[in-house]
């Protein structure tokens, strides 16, 4: 009976099964090496580090098959937010290469909204920053942005109402220099491309907005010029993160 059943199906073409990308566990040594590099990377803040570790786990360790792509594995590794939404899109947007100007985040610039006009009379405390820096130090309302000629980075000059005349003079002084300044060198993001190879422009656009344009310096932080240093950071070996349209589209549908 068994032979008859077999012969009855000889004329049918064999069904070719798709090979899974990877099943079972992965490479623990490779993940440990990546995790060590990520923790030693001083450019990574808490959000960037969490994203890099999740993707590293998905690439090297997570059981992958036809139903689980790298992106799905990363989503599962990160877990949901407090509102039960996937945290992956926000973390990828956080890693988008960009320039963050001083004062963008509260508390990162000690002179944010502090008048830098010249001090007329000494402050009672001789060690106070207003004396040591010889600045007014009063709460400021007006800001003049100076773009530095080497990097395009911004230097904010804040002025109070008593120093409005100086504010107008400084604004006129930096006008031509600002027009000639280069595009600002990115100082945030761009860490995913340092560790993994993929079409990162497409990834950043998918998780952000389609009109996003990469900086002229590239999307990888390792390639960006570093002020005070002639060469970019040495390139490290990168793992290939297989990126397919189906993977992104499927992940996108799951996140909605």
User: For residues 143 and 130, what is the distance between their CA atoms, to the nearest angstrom?
Assistant: 18
Residue 33 CA to residue 83 CA, distance in Å, equals 33
pLDDT tens per residue across span 93-127: 999 999 999 888 776 788 889 999 998 888 888 88
Phi, psi of 41 (to 5 degrees): -80, 110
Whole-prediction pTM value?
0.78
Residue at token pair 């349209």:
245
Contact, 224 vs 52, CB < 8 A? Answer: no
Domain residue spans of the chain: 27-99+187-255, 101-183
Residue 76 CB neighbour total at 10 angstroms:
16
Beta carbons of 163 and 75 less than 8 angstroms apart: no
Tens of pLDDT, residue by residue over 187-245, are: 999 999 999 999 999 999 999 889 999 999 999 999 999 877 655 555 666 776 655 44
Place of tokens 């099943």: 23
């Amino acid at each position: 009976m068994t032979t008859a059943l077999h012969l009855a199906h000889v004329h049918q073409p064999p069904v070719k099964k798709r090979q899974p990308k990877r099943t079972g566990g992965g490479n623990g040594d490779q993940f440990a090496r990546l995790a060590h590099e990520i923790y030693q990377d001083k450019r990574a803040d808490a959000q960037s580090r969490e994203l890099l570790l999740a993707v590293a786990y998905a690439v090297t360790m997570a059981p992958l098959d036809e139903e689980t792509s790298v992106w799905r594995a990363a989503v599962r590794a990160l877990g949901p937010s407090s509102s039960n939404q996937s945290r992956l899109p926000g973390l990828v947007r956080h890693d988008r290469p960009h320039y963050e100007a001083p004062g963008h985040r509260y508390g990162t610039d000690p002179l944010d909204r502090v008048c830098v006009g010249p001090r007329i009379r000494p402050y009672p405390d001789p060690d106070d920053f207003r004396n040591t820096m010889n600045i007014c130090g009063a709460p400021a309302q007006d800001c003049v942005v100076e773009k530095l000629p080497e990097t395009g980075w911004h230097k904010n000059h804040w002025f109070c109402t008593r120093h409005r005349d100086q504010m107008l003079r400084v604004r006129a002084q930096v006008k031509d220099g600002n027009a000639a300044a280069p595009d600002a060198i990115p100082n945030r993001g761009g860490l995913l491309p340092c560790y993994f190879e993929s079409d990162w422009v497409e990834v950043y656009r998918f998780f952000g907005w389609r009109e996003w344009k990469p900086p002229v310096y590239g999307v990888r932080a390792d390639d960006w010029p570093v002020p005070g240093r002639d060469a970019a950071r040495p390139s490290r070996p990168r793992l290939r993160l297989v990126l397919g349209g189906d993977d992104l589209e499927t992940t996108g549908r799951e996140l909605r």
